[in-house]
């Protein structure tokens, strides 16, 4: 190889070395640029996430503040003051009574004037549920838009003569379910059938005797347990030591006067709160 060829070979190698250096430097620049871009992207993402989180937190704080302003604090539950010797308007004032002559007489004597009464003398559970002749079912009158704290149900006296007490159990249970459907927030009280005098019990008119009454009261008590209701034992509130209504308490031996209705109401408010 002559001098000229050697010089050309050296020049050629030099150019290849320079080319490789340029490629390497270019790759280094590209890698650095990519790393810088990635770092910038990470910073931008972090800033964006922080901004979004801050915005969400501020929005939730504003919504909570608005909700707190729009929703008043609940008022404390009304405290009931009960004098054991006085019929309590606090206890009975937002109540409804539905039933037979017992409830009807409470209305007549105006012992709880602020309560509502859905009652009729001679009313039985089937009539209350299905209606009687041209009369609409009295249970439907509860669907009047009012919120009752307590609903007192008084049935059984007019059903004592039914051949099968199981029918009374079934129909009373259905009536209770209907009342709960109409007034789901109300507390339901099932009142016992009150006793009759010994004379009336012995006469046994329409199977009205104290043994039969106690049998029906056991049915009512069981229903109260099954239906998550309160069994109000007003039988005990007025019965004498022998389980009869005292002589002179009722002119007909069955339906007593104002004094004994007062005893029943006082017994309920003092024992079932």
Architecture of domain 89-271: 3-Layer(aba) Sandwich (3.40)
pLDDT in tens, 89-130: 999 999 999 999 999 999 999 999 999 999 999 999 999 999
pTM, two decimals, is 0.71
- Is residue 165 within 8 A of residue 215, CB to CB? The reply is yes
pLDDT in tens, 165-221: 999 999 999 999 999 999 999 999 999 999 999 999 999 999 999 999 999 999 999
Q: Is the pLDDT of residue 269 over 70?
A: yes
- Map out the domains of the chain as residue ranges: 1-74, 89-271
């Amino acid at each position: 190889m002559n001098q000229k060829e050697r010089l050309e070979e050296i020049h050629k190698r030099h150019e290849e070395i320079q080319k490789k250096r340029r490629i390497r430097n270019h790759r280094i620049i590209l890698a650095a640029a990519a790393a810088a871009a990635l770092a910038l992207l990470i910073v931008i993402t972090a800033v964006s996430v922080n901004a979004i989180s801050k915005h969400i937190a501020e929005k939730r704080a504003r919504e909570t503040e608005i909700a707190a302003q729009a929703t008043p604090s609940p008022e404390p539950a009304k405290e009931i003051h009960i004098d054991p010797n006085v019929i309590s308007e606090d206890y009975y004032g937002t109540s409804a009574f539905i039933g037979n002559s017992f409830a009807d007489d409470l209305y007549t004597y105006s012992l709880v004037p602020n309560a509502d009464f859905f009652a009729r003398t001679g009313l039985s559970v089937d009539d209350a549920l299905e209606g009687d002749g041209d009369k609409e079912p009295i249970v439907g009158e509860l669907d009047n838009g009012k919120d009752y704290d307590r609903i007192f149900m008084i049935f059984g006296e007019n059903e004592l003569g039914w051949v099968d007490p199981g029918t009374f159990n079934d129909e009373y249970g259905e009536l209770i379910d209907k009342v709960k459907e109409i007034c789901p927030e109300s507390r339901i009280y099932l009142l016992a059938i009150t006793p009759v005098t010994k004379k009336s019990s012995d006469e046994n008119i329409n199977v009205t005797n104290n043994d039969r009454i106690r049998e029906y009261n056991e049915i009512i008590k069981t229903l109260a347990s099954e239906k998550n209701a309160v069994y109000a034992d007003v039988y005990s509130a007025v019965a004498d030591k022998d389980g009869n209504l005292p002589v002179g308490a009722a002119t007909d031996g069955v339906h007593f006067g104002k004094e004994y209705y007062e005893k029943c109401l006082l017994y309920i408010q003092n024992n079932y709160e």
